[in-house]
Structure 1
Amino acid sequence: MHAHGTSASIQPAALPGAPVPPRSDWGTLTRLFPYLWTYKWRVMAALAFMIGAKLANVGVPVLLKNLVDAMSFKPGDPNAIIVVPVALLVGYGALRLCTSLFAELRELVFAKATEGAARSISLEVFRHLHAMSLRFHLERQTGGMTRDIERGTRGVHSLISYSLYSIIPTIIEVALVLTLLAVKFDAWFAWITIAALVVYITFTITVTEWRTQFRKKMNEMDSTAHGRAIDSLLNYETVKYFNNEDFEAKRYDENLERYRRAAVKSQTTLSLLNTGQQLIIVICLVAMLWRATTGVAEGRMTLGDLVMVNAFMLQLYIPLNFLGVIYREIKQSLTDLEKMFTLMEREREISDEPGAQPLQLAANGADATLRFENVTFAYDPARVILHNISFEIPAGKTVAVVGPSGSGKSTLARLLYRFYDVQQGRITIAGQDIKQVTQASVRQAIGIVPQDTVLFNDTVEYNIAYGRPGAGREEVEAAASAAHIHGFIASAPKGYDTMVGERGLKLSGGEKQRVAIARTLLKNPPVLIFDEATSALDSANERAIQAELQGVSQNKTTLV
């Protein structure tokens, strides 16, 4: 394609959309909090039920101690009468029931908040990805990115679940137990417990932090392997054309092997963590029971007190036994969430200007004159694609742009759609700079039949109706008839309900192109772009479609 004017230089500049610097774990938590606080009454109710469950749980060993003491008597005592303390038994059962009941009520109340937060975040990241520039989507790897989004959404559930159902309840229970031990017995019980907790938590966090590198490596290898698999399957025909099944399998297996090595290291270090935790727990339990049995022997404590101390320790260390797993999962959830939030906060390369208004066009598009004014553009500063281009397409007229491959013909369509912004010059529709009006209104005014048509994995009707969602079957059939594809669709066993397959691979190139033409005809915009729209058609259909396109482009501003 030939340019008017002189060549212009493009100065390198930092492109928007660069990765956001990683945030701290606390920063990730504060980023998540607003999504949860939308359901603040449910959050508060869940916390209330959680406290109730822990109070009931701590009360169980106390009642058990009283029950044992009430049943204690000296063997051989002729005056001993075994009396079953019915009230204590009923109370014991009631507390057990309350512990489970409050826990279930907490989960029931909080489920809507958890799912609501996950839904809001997923929708926000979905919208944000659609708002990112074409440059971003051409450079990213679909499989790896979708894996990051999946893990981030799952991380919302895991983080909330482990925090609300494990960490916070354990902290409350530890505080209650320490208070009871210090008040009812001597301070040594509390100090032994505190010392064990400090050593246990320090050991767990230290080892888990060390193990995190292996977990991160596992995730990286998982995303890479997943991306390789998706890329290979999407290019199924290319793999077959070049007989490269073994080559693809080898590449995939290499990633799986790296994942396996990282997973084995992760499991080995997990065994080390679990062994160390058990050693700390056993030492603490022995020390506590030694102190309690000494107290019983000296008459300072009852047998019920010994049972209560043992029950408290078991209640504390059962959840603490999973602290390593919980901490690891929380850290992993925070890492996954941080990745997703970072993706959500990547700056958009193309954004509407503040206060931008919709593009104003006459109802019949009679004023839709299209102008490129001294436009210079480069995907990469080192290689300028368009040099000071200027041309005009009067409203309702057709202009054809010709040139060799790579000369920038398709780039004109991308710039017109504002997939990219020009570095110099401007593009106007009806005298309005497209950078100063909303992107949605510009794209609503344009219809395109692209050179490479990609369809959704849905029905033929869905893909044609995508040009104007909500269109009726009669309108869809009329558009299909205009694109000379109605006969083919009607002859299929399922007609318009025929599935087109992944990216439309069940259809031939010509059939996909005619569906794309029908979709654009249904949209009926004032500006049309035909980017080599008949390139995939046979000669007979090409002539028919070209004649039809000439008809539908009457009174429309058309770029070919």
Structure 2
Amino acid sequence: MAMFLEPTETFFQLKDESVKKNDWNLLFKYFSAPKKSYAIIIFTIAVSAFAEFSLPGITKNIVDKGVNEKNLSFVEILILAEFALLFGKIISEFIRNKILLTISNTILVRILSVFWAKLMQLPLRFFDTRNTGDIIQRNYDNERIKLFLTEHTFTALYSVFTFIVFTIILIGYNVSSFFLFLGGTILYFSWIFYFLKKRRALDNERFEVSSKEQDVIFEMVVGMHEIKLYNCESRMQQKWLRTHTKGMINSVKSLKVSQIQSTGSFIINELKNALITLVIAKSVIDGNSTLGTLLATTFILGQLQAPIEQLITFIQNGQDVKLSLKRLNEIYSQENEEKASFIYNKNLTFTGDIEFENVSFSYDNTTPEKTLKNINLVIPAGKITAIVGTSGSGKTTVLKMLLHYFDKYEGRICMSKYNFMQISPSYWRSKCGSVMQNSFIFDDTIEQNIALNTEDINPDALVEACKTANIYNFIMSLPLGFKTKIGEEGLEVSQGQKQRILIARTIYKDPQYIFFDEATNSLDANNERLIIENLNEYFRKKDKYGNQRTVIFVAHRLSTVQNADKIVVIEEGRIVEEGNHESLLQHKGNYYQLVKNQLEIDA
């Protein structure tokens, strides 16, 4: 029996109490630009507004004084004035848009810089619990914030200004018309606000669906080789189609809400305008107003409609931005890997052993089952320690703990007698080099992929690292050598070549502590033998500060493990054996069985 659970619209309407309520505080710190730029924008808004405000008066005078009094010269002057005002408005809008674009790009850079800086400060485990689509969608939220801070905000300010002035002009022409307009506008806003809750639920749903679709698309692109090799094109297309269909359903729901809202708004607005026109027309017929007043009032009603719609749009955009800020605040409210309230030890010298004291750890804190159970282990400084065991026994977890992936575990880990929890993660990693199972090759040149931690590349160290990793001859065989681009847009390298580049990356860093997780499992026997010999020689050398290297690696192959100073056997999260190759073979326990099975397979 299988149970499939899916959140309903009600789920997205629930309030998240864990998220801070001051989401808008996050917004205001981005809203900064040179005062001169804001002054010019305000000036251009005033010019545009003056042109808008003058048009009703010009229209009234053309009819009442120009047409009624048959004064063509007066009409021509007013028309020329109207053209001059409109030309000034166009120029001012051109200048304003140019400045807004500059401010908008500056704000976007600031927003994205803060966003990515925060992501870089989060603990490694955060990225193990978040899918790619989720982070990408939150990145899109930054674009929404940028638009709100620039185009939407200044448009709203202009709308408020024109709304107030045109309302005052309308009162001057006919007070009854103003009260009709006010009542219709209140009804119009009430109708729009009625749909905000529904729009919020649909936007949250859209975010979830879009995140999942991003994941599926990413999965399909990255896994296209496997998709084609296993003839599962149809299944993956169906998987994408199901996710995309949910997005389409969300779009249909949003369109339905928008259509109902727009229809109601249109009816309210047209009824309001019709009633006002009727009142003014009656006033003209009764002789209380002129025909020019009627035309001017009609013009004002048309001009008032745009600010109202822009304000409604601003309110809706504000709601969308608030949702975006809430999602981004989920990122910003995460604790940094190096907590500001905690004083970490830095500039330490590590000369002693690494010690685990009754360490237990679980990836899922909600279950009692532990991945590591009461680990007591001493990893000798300046020695090579191998960790072996069956798949899923906890070997990689030990390495990840030593690289500061996790900050919540039971027991105690010490580095040269220093409490590991009190050592700065970034400082500790500056002493470490690692090749993990999911280590990444960047879309860059070979030299930039190897010299990842420095801008100024040391050519001698680069060549030496590549020779040790037995990748130098391959690189030199390429037309561009170290300048050859690899990764998504460059030369496709094999898994074995990728592992050798990653090993060269670690060696080039010249670390005191080295962590390898199946770093040679994709190499052929000859390459592995040469690299292991080179690495064993390299491991015995001191680093640039004169420290003996401490090496911890996870491996299955006998050729990789047998020369280690210490071998640790882990099964089901517990240490079951410790010793060197010879002593463990004599013991004929778990390690003996692992070696026996491998020799039988090799035979």
Please give the TM-score of this superposition, normalised by the length of structure 2. Answer: 0.80
CA 1:549–1:415 in structure 2 vs 1: closer, same or farther (change >3 Å)? same
Question: Does residue 142 in structure 1 map to residue 132 in structure 2?
Answer: yes
Taking the aligned partners of 2:502 and 2:492, their CA distance within structure 1 comes to 15
Q: Is the 8 A contact 1:465 1:522 kept in 2?
A: yes
Greater mean deviation of Cα atoms: 527-536 or 343-352: 343-352
Taking the aligned partners of 1:103 and 1:327, their CA distance within structure 2 comes to 23
| Among candidates 380, 383, 388, match of residue 364 of structure 2 | 380
Greater mean deviation of Cα atoms: 240-249 or 495-504: 495-504
Q: Is the 8 A contact 2:60 2:295 kept in 1?
A: yes
Taking the aligned partners of 1:316 and 1:81, their CA distance within structure 2 comes to 30
Question: Does residue 123 in structure 1 map to residue 113 in structure 2?
Answer: yes
Greater mean deviation of Cα atoms: 523-532 or 324-333: 324-333
Question: Does residue 248 in structure 1 map to residue 236 in structure 2?
Answer: yes
Taking the aligned partners of 2:198 and 2:405, their CA distance within structure 1 comes to 44
C-alpha displacement at 1:48, in angstroms? 5.1
Q: CA RMSD in A?
A: 2.9
CA 1:164–1:238 in structure 2 vs 1: closer, same or farther (change >3 Å)? same
Partner of 1:59: 54
Q: Once the two structures are superposed, what CA deviation does each residue of 1:175-227 show, in whole Å capped at 9, x if it has no partner?
A: 11121222x23311211111121111111222354344444433432222222
CA 1:82–1:558 in structure 2 vs 1: closer, same or farther (change >3 Å)? closer
Question: Does residue 359 in structure 1 map to residue 343 in structure 2?
Answer: no
Q: Once the two structures are superposed, what CA deviation does each residue of 1:70-89 show, in whole Å capped at 9, x if it has no partner?
A: 31235xxxxx5532456534
CA 1:297–1:356 in structure 2 vs 1: closer, same or farther (change >3 Å)? same
Percentage of identical aligned residues = 24
Q: Is the 8 A contact 2:174 2:280 kept in 1?
A: no
Taking the aligned partners of 1:28 and 1:353, their CA distance within structure 2 comes to 22
Q: Is the 8 A contact 1:370 1:557 kept in 2?
A: no
Greater mean deviation of Cα atoms: 248-257 or 152-161: 152-161
C-alpha displacement at 1:350, in angstroms? 6.1
Q: Is the 8 A contact 1:456 1:463 kept in 2?
A: yes
Greater mean deviation of Cα atoms: 211-220 or 517-526: 211-220
Taking the aligned partners of 1:268 and 1:414, their CA distance within structure 2 comes to 49
- Give the number of aligned pairs: 529
Taking the aligned partners of 1:535 and 1:451, their CA distance within structure 2 comes to 10
Greater mean deviation of Cα atoms: 493-502 or 444-453: 493-502
User: Counterpart of 1:35 in 2: which secondary structure?
Assistant: coil
CA 1:81–1:179 in structure 2 vs 1: closer, same or farther (change >3 Å)? closer
Q: Once the two structures are superposed, what CA deviation does each residue of 1:68-107 show, in whole Å capped at 9, x if it has no partner?
A: 3331235xxxxx5532456534432333233333434433
Please give the TM-score of this superposition, normalised by the length of structure 1. Answer: 0.85
Q: Is the 8 A contact 2:103 2:150 kept in 1?
A: no
C-alpha displacement at 1:47, in angstroms? 4.3
Which letter does structure 2 place at the counterpart of 1:97?
A: F
Taking the aligned partners of 2:17 and 2:35, their CA distance within structure 1 comes to 29
CA 1:505–1:224 in structure 2 vs 1: closer, same or farther (change >3 Å)? farther
Which letter does structure 2 place at the counterpart of 1:556?
A: R
Partner of 1:408: 394
Taking the aligned partners of 1:378 and 1:214, their CA distance within structure 2 comes to 36
Question: Does residue 234 in structure 1 map to residue 186 in structure 2?
Answer: no
User: Counterpart of 2:485 in 1: which secondary structure?
Assistant: coil
Greater mean deviation of Cα atoms: 539-548 or 40-49: 40-49
Taking the aligned partners of 1:495 and 1:368, their CA distance within structure 2 comes to 41
Question: Does residue 371 in structure 1 map to residue 355 in structure 2?
Answer: yes
Q: Is the 8 A contact 2:359 2:409 kept in 1?
A: yes
Partner of 1:36: 31
Partner of 1:4: none
Question: Does residue 557 in structure 1 map to residue 547 in structure 2?
Answer: no
In the alignment, structure 1 segments of 5+ residues that lack a partner are: 1-18, 75-79
Q: Once the two structures are superposed, what CA deviation does each residue of 1:403-452 show, in whole Å capped at 9, x if it has no partner?
A: 33333222222112111125233333343323223211100001112244
Partner of 2:510: 524
Taking the aligned partners of 1:102 and 1:338, their CA distance within structure 2 comes to 36
Partner of 2:98: 108
| Among candidates 18, 21, 30, match of residue 18 of structure 2 | 21
CA 1:258–1:71 in structure 2 vs 1: closer, same or farther (change >3 Å)? same
Q: Is the 8 A contact 1:278 1:321 kept in 2?
A: no
CA 1:275–1:385 in structure 2 vs 1: closer, same or farther (change >3 Å)? closer
CA 1:266–1:387 in structure 2 vs 1: closer, same or farther (change >3 Å)? closer
C-alpha displacement at 1:161, in angstroms? 4.2
Q: Is the 8 A contact 1:204 1:323 kept in 2?
A: no
Which letter does structure 1 place at the counterpart of 2:506?
A: T
CA 1:559–1:261 in structure 2 vs 1: closer, same or farther (change >3 Å)? closer
| Among candidates 317, 323, 334, match of residue 346 of structure 1 | 334
Question: Does residue 172 in structure 1 map to residue 165 in structure 2?
Answer: no
Q: Is the 8 A contact 1:289 1:310 kept in 2?
A: yes
User: Counterpart of 1:401 in 2: which secondary structure?
Assistant: strand
Greater mean deviation of Cα atoms: 462-471 or 306-315: 462-471
Which letter does structure 2 place at the counterpart of 1:427?
A: I
Which letter does structure 2 place at the counterpart of 1:59?
A: S
C-alpha displacement at 1:538, in angstroms? 0.9
Partner of 2:148: 159
Q: Is the 8 A contact 2:432 2:514 kept in 1?
A: yes
Partner of 2:573: none
Which letter does structure 2 place at the counterpart of 1:195?
A: G
Which letter does structure 2 place at the counterpart of 1:341?
A: N
Taking the aligned partners of 1:81 and 1:315, their CA distance within structure 2 comes to 27
Partner of 1:429: 415
Q: Is the 8 A contact 1:376 1:389 kept in 2?
A: yes
CA 1:301–1:30 in structure 2 vs 1: closer, same or farther (change >3 Å)? farther
Q: Is the 8 A contact 2:361 2:370 kept in 1?
A: yes
C-alpha displacement at 1:52, in angstroms? 4.5
Larger RCO (CA within 8 A; separation ≥ 6): 1
Partner of 1:13: none
Q: Once the two structures are superposed, what CA deviation does each residue of 1:272-316 show, in whole Å capped at 9, x if it has no partner?
A: 322222222222222222233333334433333222211111111
Partner of 1:283: 271
Q: Once the two structures are superposed, what CA deviation does each residue of 1:39-78 show, in whole Å capped at 9, x if it has no partner?
A: 566456534543453243222222332333331235xxxx
Q: Is the 8 A contact 1:56 1:95 kept in 2?
A: yes
CA 1:446–1:503 in structure 2 vs 1: closer, same or farther (change >3 Å)? farther
Which letter does structure 1 place at the counterpart of 2:388?
A: V
Which letter does structure 2 place at the counterpart of 1:409?
A: K
